[in-house]
Structure 1
Amino acid sequence: MLPSSIPPPPPAAADFGALLERARRIAADVLAPAANATDQAEVIPRENLLALKGAGLLGLATPTRYGGHGAPGRVAREYTEILAGACGVTAFVQMQHTTGACPLIARGENEALKERVLPRLASGERFCTVGFSHVRRPGPPMVRAELDGDQVLLDGTVPWLTGHGLADDAVLAGTLPDGRVIFVLSSLREVEAIQPSPPLRLCAMNASATVSLRLRGLRVGREQVIATLTREQQTARDAAGMLAPAALSLGVAGAAAALLAQAADRRGSAALASAARGFAGEIDDARAEVNAWADQPEAAEYGEHAVRARAWCIELGVRTAHAAVAASGGSANLLEHTAQRLFREAMLYSLTAQTRDLQAATVQRLVGRGEEGRGQSGKRVDPA
């Protein structure tokens, strides 16, 4: 639970432009100056989350009827991009709550649960994370669920849960005997049936306090059930949310392009300046593609275009960050170097909310870049 801070403004008076401006100020004044130190910390400073809470931003995507601002997807993506360009680990941790858990609960079937918990989550009184990526994996369920009277019984392993120790609650999911997926809201505080691992060592964002959870007979009351979905419904939800994490990749790409521009100014390099402009233009184009498709998941062509746009953003983030590393020279070998941090964050975003289709599209795009390079070099491309 986050301690008290400046109370957020009344949600009824939400001005998305003003909210985004608050996010930009916090990103510039609080997050970015300490981002490299935060990257090497054991856990993100609570001051980062308190700044977002005090600005009323933790309820950005929660509907107004439950105490939030009800921001549409495009605003939520811009907000995520702003934070990701300043401090990746803060953006990633708060994303679990702001644009992950809160909207998921709001879309659920349990109206009493929404009215009881969402106002507290929207205000930041309680902080929530998520642990359900395992339901996308093929094969035997990693978490099995059973209905036992007025309770849900969960057993198994949640392989990824971010923000452990910061979060009060988590949205967890398990597979019922009939194959449906049940989502529940569980407290993470003082529950003997939830056994966290030590913090996982990741390629980036070790301050995210990411762990795996062993669930041993975790019992959650039926009043905490968020929703029960068929596999088809879960797949459709995954597809509809495909483009939300693209904002993370665009944020890191924007920060890397800014580093290139700064290097160009310091060195008077026309080549670096041209590269920075080129990346900035491509980021704008990729963002426009994301925005064009993100809000129409019902369109017949949505799935194909969404996967391609997300793969473009992933590859663009890694490529722009790699350019910033190359332009930084040997100093980028230092663990605390900004370009290296951005490169590692871009790599992590390559795997965020990954599906098999997205994995294939990302690899294919990288292969295509290689073929393009061979063609430009004048070398023969073997069609076999």
Structure 2
Amino acid sequence: MINVAIIGTGAISDAHIHAYLKFQDRCNIVALCDFYVEKAEEKAIKHQLKVDISKDYQDFLTSENIDLVSICTPPYTHADIAIDFLNAGKHVLVEKPMASSLKECDAMNRAAAQNHKILSVVAQNRFTTPMMKLKQILDTKLMGPIVHTQVDSHWWRGHSYYDLWWRGTWEKEGGGCTLNHAVHHIDIFQWMNGMPGEITAVTSNTSHDNAEVEDISIAIAKYEDGSLAQITSSVVHHGEEQQLIFQGKNARVSAPWKVVASKSRENGFPEDDNDLNEQIQRTYDQLSDLAFEGHLGQIDNILSAILGEAEVLIDGKQGRNTLELITAIYESAQLGKTVKLPLNEESLFYTREGILQNAHHFYEKKKAVENFTDNRITSGGNKE
């Protein structure tokens, strides 16, 4: 039996708790921790959990009754908590984004390797049937080499969203919509299409004058083969219409799912390639649906990995790749130049200190509330 501690009992912790309770044949929640200890107590009552509760995660570091830790705290705390638990011999599942800087990611990965423990980063949108099927279709190469990718990570958040004490600041949240919303789509993008060679980006804050950070960014990624990708990250898009479109030389595929295949007429104008269209669609239809999706799917994966029954799909290296792309977007936008990948210690944005010194403040945060009375969250977007 895998014993689990959950650090941070805000809104996202419910997804972790529901998932662990789904797999009670393999795991058991034994501890909850939150700086606001009353929140942990309320969560234990809500889910009828008989657990140890503390306001300080360090109280659980030496516990021999904990095997796996879910970290659901604000991003700026992820690295210290993860490293402490990895050094204490615990496996770690950390919410997105992995950390506030690439330096912290590298330290977390070193701790995982040195202690021979699993470090997994939450990217629950990979664990959806449409995304997993799209990845498998791309792996077939039926659409030919990818020449252009369009990533639309469109969300909408009201002005009060950034009133929460840790949001909207470079120090506490680490960035704006690019880091904390588009992280899902950027993760899927790099998982499906690989890492580009360079990034050119711009950022702005159009609608949230209570936040230091951006509420929209647009980036162009270029690959060594000349192919391009455009990535829009936003919390100002009504309707939250989200998509990933991969244009191959022979066909386009996307999430939400759509396939269109074209071939050239004698004069270069297009006509439908019905045979290829039907082949790709038939291949897609034959792929199996996932047994568990979202956080359920990812927690099923990490439990199986701990038991030696599967490989962890999203490890610390994958988590770092995603943050590296986001960091490159910030560096390019802030410095007004194209940034080459990979990023290393020479990047001005490699450390938290470097980010804080070089990041532009669109506005200064003037209001902070400790908690909202309405803790409902929405996942947004089209799910087909």
Task: Identify, as 1 or 2, the structure richer in strand.
Answer: 2
TM-score under structure 2 length normalisation: 0.23
Q: Could you tell me the TM-score, scaled by structure 1's length?
A: 0.23
**Richer in helix (by share):** 1
